[in-house]
């Protein structure tokens, strides 16, 4: 193996190690360089490449925006590079937006003429990969990703939390930590923090993950300038990085001598040769940065030079052309700071003998919460961020949550929950057969329904309402089911999905219905099967007004013959809390409410009855449509 292990040309951050390596990279010393936004100018790019050849690094990383030339001329640009740095100079490429989707060449063609030369690379070279340097007993893991870049598959790559690419990145970083690799450097063409032109296209969730895992460096380009941040980290006063503004609590260290492992340094190295852009010293994010240079601020072309040992990383900007800008900083690895214990927090809500517990408010100031363990106070236990537990009987129970962080520290908190036996206000399983009426519920008294022949009936264990024509909506009321703080659940279905442009069926559940008005929980089934939920209020003399905006039910599509389960609550006074959830029969009940609203309309703060009403929109073309209801249950909420 030669003295160099890798050359990555185009990394978005211009940082350079202060001393050159002698011989091949070893477990005790690696020398690498990085730069992006390169181009093919003889007067600006040329000197940068000449200085890189002189630096003679073990690795040089290119993080995007390579030639800025014509598509099809990729080989010519590769020749321009190798003519300057010499044959055999190893180049590791990462795509920028100018070559990810053919704007100025294609990353696949650049990768063919400047191929990977690092042994052990995992992933897709030029797009998403990680590699350890040296391969045996490595000092550094480089993780190269492409958030917010479009590729020829027609997609813009997302690294949002929950996506496969986010998980891949997190796993690559975790793998380095598990293997005791001292340093982790992430490269991505587009930055998040910037005093340049662009916003955080890569996404705050990805950046928070990099900060949570305390990646040492994040290198980018894209901005045609140089920007080096202070050391940034999450903690008690900075649980998520403030983007588009500034939070001083997110800055761990503001000088040029920093402690490795305390946070992350972000570097934009867009000084590879393409024309520089201005930097904005009045940008809201400017206080995050320790050093900047651009067209309006000592414009200087160059690259970043990094000298790495197990205990220190020395970084400096190497000037190649233009102005006289310089920058340097060090990361020194000292004794690891003591682990800080996590904090356990949870909220609870009850319905009869069931409690829903949510520990998502728990946190860890210097890592992550790894496990959530529950003791419910009745001899039983559970695990998870959110859990549901049903008690054997009414009473007051001591619930204990214990959280454990990724370093094994624990914290517990105990709170009391009170559960009460279910008090049934109304119940109707519709186990009867009737025509032109619904008769009386098993509990709750008689229904008041539309008596038009053929509209209302009970058969086959269902209460049935027929919408005989577009614009029709029969109303079925249960005035004996009086309550203010109630939970209502029922099953509903349709014999057919409404057809026609913008056709829909609105299923309305009336809550607190009196002569003065009512609250209305709406379950809307469209002609394409998509289900929306909404709340409205009706005040006599004033009409109906929405309470917030409608919300689609994630992942739920209705087909003829399906049965939907609906659960809603109205609780409290001034304001009233309104919540609703919908799911399909056979699926588990969602732990969270689909929609939650509040309203304080004075005439609706008193107890009232409940009711059901389907409505077929005027644009429907397949009337009649029959709505079917079953297992109506109204209980008081303590």
Confidence band, pLDDT 50/70/90 cuts, at residue 364: confident
pLDDT of residue 463: 97
Run of H or E including 504: strand 504-514
pLDDT of residue 189: 98
SS3 content of the chain, % helix, strand, coil (to 5): 10, 45, 45
In angstroms, the CA 595 to CA 522 distance is: 11
Closest by CA to 494, choosing from 457, 522, 532, 467, is 467
Mean pLDDT of 131-157: 96
Domains of the chain: 15-332 (3.60.21.10), 347-419 (2.60.40.10), 423-636 (2.60.120.200)
Residues in the chain: 638
| Residue 167, φ and ψ in degrees, nearest 5 | -65, -40
Whether residue 624 is preceded by a cis peptide bond, meaning omega within 30 degrees of 0, is yes
Question: CB count, 10 Å around CB of 424?
Answer: 15
Strands (E), 174-311: 183-188, 217-220, 226-229, 231-232, 251-253, 257-259, 265-269, 289-293, 300-308
Closest by CA to 144, choosing from 100, 176, 188, 175, is 188
Does residue 13 register a pLDDT over 70?
no
Question: CB count, 10 Å around CB of 23?
Answer: 10
pLDDT of residue 339: 84
pLDDT of residue 258: 95
Distance of CA 589 to the CA centre of its chain: 23
In angstroms, the CA 223 to CA 246 distance is: 20
Run of H or E including 169: helix 164-178
Name the DSSP class of 287.
G
Does residue 20 register a pLDDT over 60?
no
Confidence band, pLDDT 50/70/90 cuts, at residue 522: very high
Judge residue 539's burial from the number of C-beta atoms within 10 Å of its C-beta, 0-12 exposed, 13-18 middle, 19 or more buried. middle
Closest by CA to 148, choosing from 115, 190, 119, is 190
Annotate 68-133 with three-state secondary structure.
CCCCCCHHHHHHHHHHHHCCCCCCEEECCCCCCCEECECHHHHHHHCCCCCCCCEEECECEEEEEE
Lowest-pLDDT choice from 2-6, 60-64, 212-216, 398-402 = 2-6
CA dihedral (22, 28, 34, 40) positive or negative: positive
Does residue 245 register a pLDDT over 60?
yes
In angstroms, the CA 182 to CA 44 distance is: 35
Mean pLDDT of 576-598: 95
In angstroms, the CA 603 to CA 538 distance is: 10
Q: Are 485 and 570 in contact (CB under 8 A)?
A: yes
Confidence band, pLDDT 50/70/90 cuts, at residue 67: very high
Confidence band, pLDDT 50/70/90 cuts, at residue 12: very low
Mean pLDDT of 257-273: 96
Does residue 2 register a pLDDT over 70?
no
Question: CB count, 10 Å around CB of 161?
Answer: 14
| Residue 362, φ and ψ in degrees, nearest 5 | -70, 155
Question: What b/e string do you get for 254-281 counting C-beta neighbours within 10 Å, with b at 16 or more?
Answer: eeeebbbbbbbbbbbbbbbbbebbebbe
Q: Does residue 367 or residue 11 have the better pLDDT? A: 367
CA atoms within 13 A on the CB side of 276: 26
**CA distances, 72 to each of 316, 336, 391 (Å):** 35, 51, 69
End-to-end, the C-alpha distance of the chain in Å comes to: 74
Confidence band, pLDDT 50/70/90 cuts, at residue 24: low
pLDDT of residue 26: 62
**458: its two tokens:** 């009970």
Does residue 422 register a pLDDT over 90?
no
CA dihedral (64, 65, 70, 74) positive or negative: negative
Annotate 293-331 with three-state secondary structure.
EECCECCEEEEEEEEECCCEEEEEEEEEEECCCCCEEEE
Confidence band, pLDDT 50/70/90 cuts, at residue 25: low
Q: What mean pLDDT, rounded, does the chain reach?
A: 92
| Dihedral in degrees, nearest 10, Cα atoms 270, 271, 274, 278 | 80
| Dihedral in degrees, nearest 10, Cα atoms 241, 32, 105, 145 | -40
Does residue 17 register a pLDDT over 80?
no
Does residue 6 register a pLDDT over 70?
no
User: pTM for the complete prediction?
Assistant: 0.56
User: For the segment 429-465, what is each residue's pLDDT rounded down to a tens digit?
Assistant: 999 999 999 999 999 999 999 888 999 999 999 999 9
| Residue 173, φ and ψ in degrees, nearest 5 | -70, -45
Most confident of 13-17, 56-60, 324-328, 589-593: 324-328
In angstroms, the CA 368 to CA 211 distance is: 11
In angstroms, the CA 485 to CA 608 distance is: 10
Closest by CA to 268, choosing from 314, 315, 224, 330, is 224
Closest by CA to 64, choosing from 27, 33, 90, 39, is 39
Confidence band, pLDDT 50/70/90 cuts, at residue 90: confident
Question: Assign residue 529 a region: left if phi > 0, alpha if psi is -120 to 50, beta otherwise?
Answer: left
| Dihedral in degrees, nearest 10, Cα atoms 528, 531, 535, 538 | 40
């Amino acid at each position: 193996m030669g003295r160099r292990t890798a050359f990555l040309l185009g990394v978005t951050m211009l940082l350079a190690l202060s001393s050159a390596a002698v011989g091949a990279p070893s477990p005790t010393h690696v020398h690498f360089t990085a730069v992006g936004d390169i181009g093919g100018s003889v007067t600006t790019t040329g000197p940068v490449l000449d200085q890189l050849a002189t630096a003679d690094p073990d690795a040089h990383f290119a993080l995007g925006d390579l030639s800025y030339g014509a598509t099809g001329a990729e080989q010519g640009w590769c020749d321009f590079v190798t003519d300057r740095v010499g044959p055999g100079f190893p180049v590791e490429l990462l795509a920028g937006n100018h070559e990810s989707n053919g704007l100025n060449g294609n990353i696949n063609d650049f990768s063919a003429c400047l191929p990977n030369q690092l042994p052990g690379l995992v992933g897709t070279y030029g797009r998403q990969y990680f590699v350890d340097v040296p391969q045996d007993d490595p000092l550094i893991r480089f993780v190269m990703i492409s958030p917010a870049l479009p590729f020829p598959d027609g997609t813009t790559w997302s690294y949002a939390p929950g996506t496969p690419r986010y998980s891949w990145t997190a796993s690559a970083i975790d793998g380095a930590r598990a293997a005791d690799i001292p340093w982790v450097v992430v490269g991505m063409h587009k930055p998040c923090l910037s005093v340049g032109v662009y916003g955080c296209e890569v996404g705050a969730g990805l950046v928070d993950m990099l900060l949570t895992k305390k990646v040492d460096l994040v290198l980018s380009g894209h901005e045609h300038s140089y920007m080096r941040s202070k050391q940034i980290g999450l903690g008690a006063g900075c649980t998520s990085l403030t983007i588009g503004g500034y939070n001083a609590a997110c800055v761990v260290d503001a000088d040029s001598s920093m402690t490795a492992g305390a946070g992350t340094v972000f570097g934009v190295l867009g000084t590879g040769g393409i024309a520089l852009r201005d930097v904005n010293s009045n940008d809201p994010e400017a206080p995050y940065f320790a050093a900047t240079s651009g067209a309006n601020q000592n414009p200087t072309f160059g690259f970043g030079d990094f000298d790495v040992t197990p205990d220190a990383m020395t970084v400096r900007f190497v000037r190649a052309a233009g102005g006289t800008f310089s920058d340097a900083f060090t990361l020194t690895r000292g004794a690891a700071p003591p682990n800080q214990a996590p904090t356990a927090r949870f909220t609870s809500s009850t319905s009869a003998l069931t409690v829903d517990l949510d520990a998502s408010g728990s946190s860890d100031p210097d890592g992550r919460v790894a496990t959530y363990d529950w003791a419910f106070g009745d001899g039983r236990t559970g695990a998870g961020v959110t859990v549901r537990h049903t008690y054997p009987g009414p009473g007051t129970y001591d619930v204990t949550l214990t959280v454990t962080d990724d370093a094994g520290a624990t914290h517990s908190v105990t709170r009391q929950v009170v559960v009460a036996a279910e008090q049934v206000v109304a119940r109707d399983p519709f186990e009867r057969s009737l025509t032109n009426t619904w008769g009386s519920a098993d509990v709750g008294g008689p229904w008041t329904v539309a008596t038009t022949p053929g509209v209302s009936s009970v058969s086959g264990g269902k209460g049935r309402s027929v919408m005989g024509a577009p614009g029709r909506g029969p109303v079925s009321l249960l005035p004996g089911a009086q309550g203010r703080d109630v939970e209502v659940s029922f099953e509903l279905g349709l014999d057919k999905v409404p057809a026609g442009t913008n056709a829909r069926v609105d299923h309305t559940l009336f809550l607190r219905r009196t002569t003065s008005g009512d609250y209305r929980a709406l379950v809307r089934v469209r002609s394409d099967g998509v289900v929306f939920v909404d709340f409205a209020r009706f005040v006599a003399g004033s009409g109906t007004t929405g309470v917030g905006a409608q919300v689609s039910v994630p992942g739920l599509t209705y087909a003829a013959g399906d049965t939907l389960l609906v659960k809603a609550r109205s609780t409290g006074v001034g304001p009233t809390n309104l919540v609703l959830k919908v799911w399909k029969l056979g699926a588990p009940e969602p732990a969270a409410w689909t929609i939650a609203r509040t309203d304080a309309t004075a005439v609706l703060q008193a107890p009232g009855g409940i009711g059901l009403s389907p409505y077929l929109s005027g644009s429907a073309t397949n009337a009649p449509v029959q709505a079917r209801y079953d297992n109506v249950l109204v209980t008081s909420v303590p």
